[in-house]
Structure 1
């Protein structure tokens, strides 16, 4: 694994982009993306391709054995897929909750109106959204935020409209707009964790909620998922006390 990889010792406080792994009483390692499972846990800060390589080469098991101080550990070969599925489920559940609470908008016309009035905090598109619709809503958002010329686009999600529609309990959900600042923060946190993990390209940082001019628009706000990315969570983690010979960092 490369220098960006990190595994933090059990029960280290979670940080953005990290995923908790729980150690079951039978020695099985389980994904615990909501960090609610009882018992011992460890936090990882790698993306899916890196984790898959670590599992295949036995590096993850070795690092977790040292972190948990036991060799009675079984790492499922499909652990990375399980984590990706759990993160996607958590993100879609969050969208569904916000839809029930009435804190998000669907429908191009409603989103465009809110965007032009400067009320839009986040903008998401289905993977199969038409390019014309994406451009139209992005332009309206830039106008409303006084950010024309910034390239502000929102985020294209790696799921089609059928999946988004099921998650929100609505028909033909192609675009999603968040006009409530707290809801936008909740949604972006869960979506960013999922998008960061499924990689290999990290996701852009959440767009700031305040209006800003083109000269101050961040690069992370421009483009779609997988472009203009921030450093990953492994880079932002504190320097570890110990380093394994596999490249997995495990604090003592």
Structure 2
């Protein structure tokens, strides 16, 4: 089912945005780790001081970035670490942190992914229906293969095998990614009945749609997983997919990119 509506600071989806290749990084206020912006979640404050997720990173003013799992966020909230970190981030501003912030972040990320899938469907990049997905997969016309969280093992196995054939990767064990969304959520997002599997059209020379989808998938998967790791370790994240296109992978270097601040924990965007 679709997650309950939450307050929005702004629209949760931006028009096609590729993973950040500029080297711009932000520091998680809880873990202290640096990572590319597109792998983190921005928090911002509403005019009345309520701390809310800003997953599109479009809200005005200062922002604070987090890159931890929901479990870690909720622990930090309970133990007071989050409040202290946010007070530093927002320079002592009067803040109100909702008790259900973890749920709000997860809901915003799920909505962001659903919106992205909807945009790609309207642009003709989403392939639906098991028979059509299998046909396109075997022909090597899918850049990504995704399965609902409640999809059957048998259904996944058949399509995964077809995908490996099309990628000339038989025997590799490669498989599509199991999403942290069930068939009901996918059906609502795409306006179709009983969406259990979907493919993202593309090939080695055109991975843009798959990269946009994978960016949204990775952030949600990392947030809902214990320890902040994607539940399906075999599935590539947006940075892995950059390697397929031959372009540079967003770096984790501690050295600033020339002319820019590589690590901006709170500043305006």
Structure 2 partner of 1:108? 130
Structure 2 partner of 1:17? 39
Distance 1:7 1:125 in 2: 33
Distance 1:58 1:100 in 2: 44
Structure 2 partner of 1:81? 103
Structure 2 partner of 1:205? 236
- How far did residue 46 of structure 1 move? 1.1
Distance 1:34 1:208 in 2: 21
Distance 1:61 1:110 in 2: 49
Q: Deviations over 1:113-135 (max 9, x none)?
A: 11111111100011221211111
| Residue 179 of structure 1 pairs with residue 165 of structure 2 | no
Structure 2 partner of 1:69? 91
Contact 1:29 1:74 in 2 (8 A): yes
Distance 1:59 1:13 in 2: 20
Q: Deviations over 1:1-40 (max 9, x none)?
A: xxxx9318xxx99623211110233322111111111222
Partner of 2:98, secondary structure, is coil
- How far did residue 251 of structure 1 move? 8.3
Partner of 2:39, secondary structure, is coil
| Residue 193 of structure 1 pairs with residue 219 of structure 2 | yes
- How far did residue 61 of structure 1 move? 0.7
Contact 1:126 1:161 in 2 (8 A): yes
Matches within 5 A, 1:206-245: 206=237, 208=241, 236=252, 238=254
Higher deviation after alignment, 201-210 or 134-143: 201-210
Distance 1:210 1:237 in 2: 17
Contact 2:62 2:266 in 1 (8 A): no
TM-score by length of 2: 0.72
Structure 2 partner of 1:169? 191
Structure 2 partner of 1:221? none
- How far did residue 96 of structure 1 move? 1.1
Q: Which consecutive residues of structure 2, in runs of 5 or more, have no partner in the other structure?
A: 1-26, 245-249, 256-264
Number of equivalenced pairs? 214
TM-score by length of 1: 0.76
> How much is the aligned-residue C-alpha RMSD, in angstroms?
2.9
Q: Which consecutive residues of structure 1, in runs of 5 or more, have no partner in the other structure?
A: 212-232, 240-249
- How far did residue 77 of structure 1 move? 1.2
Distance 1:42 1:238 in 2: 19
